[in-house]
Amino acid sequence: MQNTSDLIEQYLKALLAEAAEIEIQRAELADKFDVVPSQINYVIKTRFNATKGFDVESKRGGGGYIKIVKFHFSAKHEQLKDIYGKISTGLSADNARDILQLLFDEKILTEREGNLLLSVLTNAELADSLRADFMREILQRLDRENDI
């Protein structure tokens, strides 16, 4: 059985499958799923972020909205470069997992490669700063090896 957050995510992804970007009213979406607006914020923050391949713009207030855009890249080089640019000085294990999933979904990594990197980059003993350094190096290597 799916929880409400899963249903909201599926609904938004279905809208994104039909349009390059969507604009939603937080309150209207909350009413549709009979949840408080903070539940919508939670879903957006955890499931539609840059490491998962989305750009989110939010305007609060009376006429507030949330605009979600799925990244579409014309070339793998641009995608890798964009992901690289979004990695700060630290990278959490969850964000590393999201990036690896995105690279797998975009067919940049094989399942085997992704699982191997996942086992290393999500190790709880690894400092976030070192994880970020490793991920940047991986992205650079992928960019060179794939001639993109």
CATH no. for residue 10?
3.30.56.130
Distances (CA, A) of 143 to 26, 60, 70, 89, 118: 38, 38, 21, 20, 19
Number of domains the chain contains: 2
What span, in angstroms and rounded, lies between the C-alpha atoms of 87 and 105? 19
**Is 148's pLDDT higher than 50?**
no
Are 87 and 122 in a shared domain?
yes
pLDDT recorded at residue 71: 74
**Is 146's pLDDT higher than 70?**
no
pTM metric for this prediction: 0.56
From 12, 46, 70, give the residue that closes a domain: 70
**Measuring CA to CA, which residue among 94, 89, 86, 41 is closest to residue 68?**
41
Q: Report the 10 Å Cβ neighbour count for 62.
A: 6
Mean pLDDT of 101-105: 90
Are 38 and 62 in a shared domain?
yes
Please name the residue ranges forming H helices in 19-127: 26-33, 37-47, 76-86, 93-105, 111-121
Domain that holds residue 111: 76-145
Are 54 and 108 in a shared domain?
no
Are 105 and 80 in a shared domain?
yes
Are 84 and 120 in a shared domain?
yes
